[in-house]
Chain A
Amino acid sequence: MIADSLAGRRIAVTGSTGFLGTALVERLLRSVPDCELVLVVRPGRRGARRRVDRDILRNDAFDRLRDELGTDGFAEMTAQRVTAVAGDVAVDGLGLDDAGRAAIAGCDIFIHSAAIVSFDSPLDQAVEVNLLGPVRVASVLTELGVAPHLVAVSTCYVAGSRRGAAPEEPVDESPFFVGVDWSNEVDSARQIRRDTETASRSPERLTDFRDEAHDELGAAGVPALASKTEQLRSRWVDDRMAEAGRARATSLGFPDAYAYTKALGEMALVETAGEIPVSIVRPSIIESALAEPSPGWIRGFRMAEPVIISYARGLLKEFPGVPEGTIDIIPVDFVVAAICAVAARGPVDGPDIVQVASGSVNPLRYGHLVDMVRAWFTDHPIYDDRGQPISVPEWSFPGRGRVKRQLERTGTVLEKAQKVIDALPVRGSRAELAVRLEEQRGLIERAMGYVDLYGAYAECEAVYLLDRLLALWESLDPDDREAFCFDPRVLDWDHYAPEIHLPSVVRAGRVPMRPPARGAESRSTRLRRQVLSPDRQMAVFDLENTLIASNVVATYAWLGSRRLSGRDRLRLVLKTVMEGPTLLALDRRDRSDFLRHFYRRYEGAPVDVISEDAAEHFSDLILARSFPAGIRRVREHRDLGHRTLLITGALDFVVEPLRPLFDDIVSSVLGTDGSTYDGRMRTAPPTGEARYQALVDYADLHGLDLRESVAYADSASDLPMLEAVGFPVAVNPETRLASIANKRGWLVEDFAKSPGMTSRLLPLAPAGRSA
């Protein structure tokens, strides 16, 4: 009996936060009542115990057990039977402390399930975890002087991209294996990481990253650009490493870095295990549970799921593969049961490798799966943003190359369209188009990624033999067969796919399966309610394009032309307008440089005249071009008792008439000799990070919590300010900000000029008659 032979044992488990690991822990706790578990988890910030409680035991896999025992009973049982140990398989010695080592030393069985299963992880990370992980486990056990039964979870795909039978034999015994030395592979992966890191720091590359960051954020200020640049650099390195992994894997006949590192990991483990008895369990593609802990249970959004959902959304019109090919799927509870059976049986002499797969005994044909998926989504369509059901496309089983070419073509067109739109000065609802384009492009890119990553699996024509697995099955008594079923022959695909797996996939993918309820609160309404909650403490506003449709250049032209007559007026305004493109470019590069440069023009302007004219300017330019909904929003915040603050690069005398609207105003201030302006700014203009700093200083001074504050701005250059508060609002965002706001789920407001107000072509003041 499996339960009996495992009863009273202490079992260490790595990877228990993963899909397979969670199911394994649950099954052991539920079906083997007397065993104890030592879970090795990365402690994170909260510590190992909290992590076990939050990330494992709270999972819905344990609902069944929790129902059986009651919440208190469950807590008591897990407190008794589960020990959390902080450790990390990517670190030599597993990063264990003394207590951890002691806990592990007392174990009878060690199930190593930790792995990086992502198919596009950076090469060196996959090597550290998948290749060196098992070696580190073995060496810790050896150091501790113990030899528990080590059950290592691997994958069928270590057999590589081959056609035909793949038996349960060691990797290096396969006739198709290209002999490489695993420790050389480790060294070179680390070397590639070092080289790539170095390459990423070359001046040319760094300049590229900085330009890219600037393209994305605009004139957001030095700190924001620096942090974005570093992020881009690090992503670039990771991308290169993932590419290196794919390349190396393919060169050795593996579909990807995952299979490649897993294969070498098996070899390395067998080589370094010494006295420790090792069993290797190789599942194929693990999918949702058939029955245990509950039908359809799944954790995380895994390999086939995103592909299936992309198809249902109509994004992935085709996916490569041959209809008569086999898609080797195995439910997670079968794998768990097989691991339990292997552990219960104990070590055997010689290489002990068990494959858990379905293809050789109960194949699911790719064409059959596609038919089922199509039929299911035809009956249960996903709904789009507008509440319309999406109809799924016919599948023509093209080759991988054709699919990729199609996707690439679409991607290129979208990319070009987006470049055009990005270059246009569009705002608000028109910028939404850019956001949609970007989303579409993102989806195409992802779809292309799936084809790259998973195409090999759909095209894989290896057949995984199950001799040992079936022998193990034969050895079980009827009770065990009932409790720990892992016989793939019992799987009924026509039941499993439509009744169990697909419903579970759409649940896990949280996709809309019915049209939005009528009268339901929209996301914007919800966000707006949060923004206008009495709990907020402060609302900070940008001015230009957030509250008014004007800018410092128009103001200057207006003020400058007010006291001029006839041709001089026109000349000044035309000159200023002609300079527009240059000024705009300067503004895009660095807003504070632009303001400094531009405000020089006020040199010699008489203070009293400007102050008199600013009052007229308030009505004729500011109010006439104001966004009534924006002004109303400021007033709503005030009525709610929020402190309102205007932070703007505009000049103090320009915004002075807006003072009654705000508790405080931070603006640019020009120096003066008493009667005329000198054209120099007294302090750094509050833009970009200076704006952020002004906000932080202000909040400090008044004891306000920025996490409870709201900020309104229109441009990516305001990012530091927007990111500083708990409730950012993008107002009429230009494309860059629109895209950021969309990604981060920020409230987007379309504040518009009062309908009926059309702007004059030129910002000319009504001819002032100098008194």
Chain B
Amino acid sequence: MSNGRHLAPRPGFVLDVDRNSPPIVFHHGEGFRLEKLPAGRSRVIYPAEPLEGLPDPDGAIRDALLNPIGDSAPLPALLRPDMKLTIAFDDISLPLPPMRRPDIRQRVIETVLDMAAEAGVDDVHLIAALAVHRRMTEDELRHAVGDRVYDAFAPRGLLYNHDAEDPDGMVVLGETPHGEAVQFNRRAAESDLVVYVNINLVAMDGGHKSTATGLTGYTSLRHNHNVHTMLNSTSFMDQDGSALHASNWRMGKVLRDAGVRIFQVETTVNNDTFGREGPLSMLQKREWEWSARDRASFLAMQNGLKVLPTRVKREIFSKWRAPYELTSVQAGEIEAVHEVTTANVYRQHLVPVEGQTDILTMGLPYICPYNVNSIMNPILVMCLGLGYFFNLYRGRPLVRKGGVVIISHPTPWEFNPVHHPSYIDFFEQVLADTTDPAEIERKYEKQFAEDEWYIHLYRNSYAYHGVHPFYMWYWGAHALDHVARVIVVGGNTPAVRRLGFQPASTLADALEMASDVVGPQPTITHIKNPPLLMADVT
């Protein structure tokens, strides 16, 4: 039963907790908690089992490039010798955790480059489309594109990170009818063709967002990365209900009208995050189906993690490479491509759920899109919980308006000063003043966004842009608006309080505290994520 490889993968599942239900494994940073949820009024949403990967990924990629979707010629027909070609690709934030080699981007880029070489294209640039994320290091770039591509392009300065603050490297191409300036990477804007290589891990990714966000800067981002947009994105994981996506789609049209030609390559992966075999495989099994071996290795892991210092645990987990498999690849015109992609994402992630509950519980893992090879600081805890996990719904949130979110994460008061310098100041100065997203936006955003030191660090070191912590906070704005209270179990007390949340040492305490708001005997939903799932709430 435990080895699902030979059986058809089972869909997601909602467990109604009764007295016989085993304790549930909660992710808890670089560790885990076993939690017993109250019987009779709790449910646990389990993700679907990993879909089978495509048997011949390289063949599938080639096939997609030759048989595009929508209004697009096959890639080879778009290539000619004297052209300027730019290949832009998703950055370190995708997929999570980083996948085993070869990375999908490497496969796609190598195929695209083969076709470009066949067509005699000389002028090729490769750009990591990281918007205001941190620059990728040499090792990270090598992992994404492969050593062969790296060694052929990087030394000649043809493979590099997007720089949204390079005054000569950015250009404004126009404005949407809503008055949103559309700023774009100059090299991409001046190319005859941009091939965008995407990995669509969650439903938020891809589409026009790849280019209109990935290759832009603060001038454009401020129009859709703000509190107003987030309060009107219900959720930003659901393109149909997302003001964020509407803005990106409007910007995409401006790009198209300005003559930017984009050949979009989108891929989806299954949710085989922890492996069907191996030391973490029990994390994607349902607890009552654990074998004796699963139980033993979980116990051993728990005991090991108990004695290890955080630094070591962080190092161990950050070395984990997910055995993700390609489940679909489609190329061509952006919107047509993205529709197919989204369907493929939903095929893996969607779990039908009936109705809302008073409380939503979640166990946050060690990683989020912005702390790959880094520290998950308290602001990222907020973003992962209230931004990502809360918004992994279609229809309506899993928790009712005025309900409570309970997060399990150690939430250490720790920061990586290289990657997150502006986060430190945001935490020490901004959050010490207020946690209200609108007030934060009004009082502090501009100052941080235009700060020369942060810009210097973003451009020359490996720092997220000065404005990035604000976006993290806005990502949670919808949840903050929706729920009445947020409680963090097992977190660093001062750090949790600084976030404006309430600390609790156990889940039982947290439920007790929540009863102030939602009354006794509340209903509870636990979203058992990752492996990734998205609740389709009716």
Contact = CB atoms under 8 A, between A and B. Distances in A.
Interface of A: 615, 618-620, 623-624, 626, 628-629, 631-632, 635, 657, 660-661, 753-758, 766, 769, 771
Contact of A628 (B139, B412, B424, B461): B424
B453 A635 contact: yes
A707 B416 CA distance: 37
Given A635-B453, A754-B415, A619 B138 contact: no
Interface in B340-377: 375, 377
B428 interface: yes
Nearest to A635: B453
Given A635-B453, A755-B413, A769-B138, A657 B155 contact: no
Given A756-B412, A766-B139, A660 B421 contact: no
A661 B461 contact: no
Given A631-B421, A756-B415, A623 B457 contact: yes
B461 A618 contact: yes
A624 B453 contact: no
26 contacts: A618-B460, A619-B461, A619-B462, A620-B418, A623-B418, A623-B457, A624-B418, A626-B417, A629-B428, A631-B453, A657-B460, A660-B452, A754-B414, A754-B415, A754-B424, A755-B412, A755-B413, A755-B414, A756-B377, A756-B415, A756-B416, A757-B375, A757-B417, A758-B311, A769-B138, A771-B155
A771 B375 CA distance: 30
B421 A756 contact: no
A6 to B, nearest CB: 68
Interface of B: 138-139, 154-155, 310-311, 375, 377, 412-418, 421, 424-425, 428-429, 452-453, 456-457, 460-463
Contacts of A657: 456, 460-461
A623 B428 contact: no
A756 B462 contact: no
Contacts of B412: 755-756
A418 to B, nearest CB: 33
B460 to A, nearest CB: 6
Contacts of A769: 138
B460 A623 contact: no
Contacts, number: 64
B418 A619 contact: yes
B310 A660 contact: no
A628 B311 contact: no
Contacts of B415: 628, 754-756
Contacts of A757: 375, 414, 416-417
The 6 closest A-B pairs by CB, nearest first: A756-B414, A754-B417, A619-B461, A660-B456, A771-B155, A628-B424
Nearest to A638: B453
Contacts of B417: 623-624, 626, 628, 753-754, 757
B148 to A, nearest CB: 14
A754 B416 CA distance: 7
Contacts of B377: 756
Given A628-B415, A628-B424, A769-B138, 11 more contacts: A623-B418, A623-B461, A624-B418, A628-B425, A635-B453, A657-B461, A753-B417, A754-B424, A755-B413, A756-B375, A757-B414
Contacts of A660: 452-453, 456
A632 B423 CA distance: 12
A626 B457 CA distance: 13
Nearest to B451: A635
B433 to A, nearest CB: 15
A543 to B, nearest CB: 15
A661 B416 CA distance: 19
A385 B191 CA distance: 69
A757 B425 CA distance: 16
A619 B375 CA distance: 16
Nearest to B309: A758
A664 B413 CA distance: 33
Contact of B310 (A661, A756, A766, A771): A756
Nearest to B495: A755
A731 B202 CA distance: 47
A658 to B, nearest CB: 9
Among B138, B412, B413, B428: residue with most chain A CB under 10 A: B138
Contacts of A628: 415, 417, 421, 424-425, 428
Among A615, A632, A756, A758: residue with most chain B CB under 10 A: A756
A771 B138 CA distance: 12
A661 B453 contact: yes
Nearest to B457: A623
Contacts of B462: 619
B163 to A, nearest CB: 14
Contacts of A620: 418
A634 B508 CA distance: 45
B151 to A, nearest CB: 9
Nearest to A624: B418
Contacts of A619: 418, 461-462
Nearest to B142: A769
Contact of A623 (B155, B414, B421): B421
Contacts of B375: 756-757
Nearest to A615: B460
Nearest to B447: A639
A766 B413 CA distance: 27
B425 A632 contact: yes
Contacts of B425: 628, 632
A143 B480 CA distance: 94
A771 B157 CA distance: 11
A352 B138 CA distance: 98
A623 B454 CA distance: 12
Nearest to B154: A771
B25 to A, nearest CB: 25
A258 B533 CA distance: 91
B428 A632 contact: yes
A635 B453 CA distance: 9
A660 B421 CA distance: 15
A769 B155 CA distance: 11
Contacts of A754: 414-417, 424
A363 B460 CA distance: 82
Contacts of A753: 417
Contacts of B413: 755
A30 to B, nearest CB: 58
A660 B462 CA distance: 16
Nearest to A619: B461
Contacts of B463: 623
Contacts of A766: 139
A59 B180 CA distance: 72
Contacts of B139: 766
Nearest to B492: A755
A631 B413 CA distance: 18
A449 B421 CA distance: 53
Contacts of A635: 453
Contacts of A631: 421, 453
A3 B425 CA distance: 73
